[in-house]
Structure 1
Amino acid sequence: MQFSEEKENFSGVIIDLTKKIDNFWFTSVLLYNFFTFIVMALYFSGVLYLLTGRKGRMASLRIMEVENDDGEEKSILLVRSK
């Protein structure tokens, strides 16, 4: 086997991280993904609430080109509840 030959010729420190990965890293990644999912769900539900309004009617979206005082054209998004 080529891997065992390389391991015999290796001069350095080999650290076994499996215990740390199983205990700490795996749990922290799961918690991070769970809280990120909750935050994103709250964010998107808030955006949907703003777009639909309190009575459940869809809002009108309009993109307009406007000029500011410097003469630059900018695109803005108007959200108006019907």
Structure 2
Amino acid sequence: MKKTNIALATAVSGLIALAGTVASTSAVAAEEKEKCYGVAKAGKNDCATKTSSCAGTSKTDGQKDAFMMVPKGLCDRLSGGSTEG
């Protein structure tokens, strides 16, 4: 085999392996998130609240009904964070 063919085959194999790793990591990361209420800065919430209909519309820092998606287990360690809205 020519050196260019070997290099090309190696590069393609690496890209395929990387794509598989990213896909499996993304799936795991998506499953390991939870809603954390009371920690979003004003205008940085992830979804609608009881008082607004869109993401990014919380009025105050730490608004109790506004949440952000955080890695599972982190919310309990954040000041003011709660997994219940």
If the length of structure 1 is used for normalisation, what is the TM-score? 0.42
If the length of structure 2 is used for normalisation, what is the TM-score? 0.40
In terms of fraction of residues, the more helix-rich structure is 1
Whichever of the two has the greater Rg, that structure is 1
In terms of fraction of residues, the more strand-rich structure is 1
